[in-house]
Amino acid sequence: MKFDLFYQLPSADSQNPAVRYRELVAEAVEADRLGFDTLWLAEVHFTPRFSVMPAPLLQLAAIAERTTRLRLGIAVNLLPLHHPVRLAEEIATLDVLSGGRVNFGAGRGAFPSNYHGYGVDMGTSRERFHEMLTFMRRAWAEDRLDFHGQFYEVEGVEVIPKPVQRPYPPFRLAANSPDTFAFAGANAYPIFAGGAVNPINVLPERLAVYHSALEAAGRKLPEDWLAAMFLTFVGKDQAAVRATIQPSLENYFHTITETIRPESLAQPDGFDRVVERMRTIKYEDVDSLMGVFGEPQRCVDRIAALKEKFGFKRMVCWFEIGGLSGHRNLIDTMRLFAERVMPHFN
């Protein structure tokens, strides 16, 4: 079983984004040493309290120079906000610089502020996303590209460099809404799922949509099909973990209510209920529905049960959720997790 890390990198008013960047690099170096498989960075724009990482490829380029085996991923590239030629060039360049360590994560994103800031109509995001996926895979695989789509058109373009990983880096889609689970299943794409968007009580229903679409399309379940994300923190006992992470959890859920809009949701008419639920969510609910929290043995037992329930071989650990736990505490929990939890799943 493989264990990954996910970072969104929020920055409170009391924090310095430059320091946050340096701490992330140091934590990535430690993750490389400890044996974590992939580091996934989010792409988010215009919401500093929620994330100060609009250019994760630049962050990963810095990390690539300080690490040797850690794979470098973005969860996710917001495809509709980019021109496909430019994004294909940048990802391929990172793959070359890192010696073939890039994982390509793709998604549309749910925050209207991302689209408004780039002047892109969010109503076209699905069509742009589908077209971008096709464009980029062809740009990496073909010597010269002729492409005539609804949004993008090129003639005889040679996209260079080509990635080290041929024909292109491994990729997976972020599956949040039911229609994205269906699209991913119909095309047999590996997925990210879980976390706060699809908690443990909702995830079985969403994965059933994926499997039904996969079966209807006559496709085979891809190897490493599910990267299951859980809010994660390990410490000496439950009380110590709660004392460390509760302020961060509260910061995350309060901040997201300031960021989402009705159009962010699959069912916009439920917006007020969603916001109220996030503002009043209890620690115990986060623990039971989204978390792997506590002393090492509790985390081992929790992961084993989740693995049995969902059938994943890759767990994405979100240690950093909310951004207020502190660099030293993050290093400590990563080490404890690597030393006392990960060996049980070799």
Q: Domain with 300 in it: what CATH number? A: 3.20.20.30
C-alpha to C-alpha distances, 270 to 196, 266, 281, 326, nearest whole angstrom? 16, 9, 16, 34
Query: If you average pLDDT over residues 9-31, what whole number do you get?
Result: 95
Mean pLDDT of the region 63-73: 98
pLDDT at 262: 66
pLDDT for the residue numbered 93: 98
β-sheet bridge partners, residue 301: none
Helix-helix angle 238-259:271-280, to 10 degrees: 150
Lowest mean pLDDT among 24-28, 164-168, 261-265: 261-265
Query: Tens digits of per-residue pLDDT, 99-136?
Result: 999 999 999 988 888 999 999 999 999 999 999 999 99
Cis previous bond, 76, omega within 30 = yes
Residue 128 has what pLDDT? 96
| Tally of structural domains, the chain | 1
137: left (phi over 0), alpha (psi -120 to 50) or beta: alpha
- List pLDDT tens digits, range 249-308: 999 998 888 777 666 666 666 667 777 777 889 999 999 999 999 999 999 999 999 999
pLDDT of residue 133: 96
Residue 65, pLDDT > 90, answer yes
CA distance 37 to 329: 21
Q: What percent of the chain has pLDDT over 90?
A: 88
What's the pLDDT score for residue 126? 93
CA distance 56 to 102: 12
Q: Are 179 and 152 in contact (CB under 8 A)?
A: no
| pLDDT tens sequence across 33-51 | 999 999 999 999 999 889 9
pLDDT of 79 > 80? The answer is yes
Containing domain of residue 64, as a range?
2-345
Q: What percent of the chain has pLDDT over 70?
A: 97
Mean pLDDT for the stretch of residues 75-104: 97
SS (H, E, C) the chain: CEEEEEECCCCCCCCCHHHHHHHHHHHHHHHHHHCCCEEEECCCCCCCCCCCCCCHHHHHHHHHCCCCCCEEEECCEEHHHCCHHHHHHHHHHHHHHCCCCEEEEEECCCCHHHHHHHCCCHHHHHHHHHHHHHHHHHHHHCCCEEEECCCCEEEEECCCCCCCCCCCCCEEEECCCHHHHHHHHHCCCCEEEECCCCCCCCHHHHHHHHHHHHHHCCCCCCCCCEEEEEEEEECCCHHHHHHHHHHHHHHHHHHHHHHCCHHHCCCHHHHHHHHHHHHHCCHHHHHHHHEEEECHHHHHHHHHHHHHHHCCCEEEEECCCCCCCCHHHHHHHHHHHHHHCHHHHC
Whether pTM > 0.85 for this model: the answer is: yes
Cα–Cα distance, 331 to 328 (Å, whole number): 5
Tell me the pLDDT tens digit for each residue of 320-339: 999 999 999 999 999 999 99
Check residue 77 and give its pLDDT: 96
At CA 210, angle to CA 206 and CA 215, rounded to 5? 145
Residue in 118, 121, 151 with CA at minimum distance from that of residue 135 = 151
pLDDT in tens, 181-237: 999 999 999 999 999 989 999 999 999 999 999 999 999 999 999 999 999 999 999
**pLDDT at position 21, please?**
97
Q: Partners of 227 in the beta sheet?
A: 192, 314
Distance CA 141, CA 155 (A): 15
> What is the predicted pLDDT for the residue at 215?
98
Share the mean pLDDT of the chain: 94
Mean pLDDT of 243-248: 96
Residue 73 has pLDDT above 70, yes or no: yes
Q: How far apart are CA 12 and CA 318, in angstroms?
A: 18
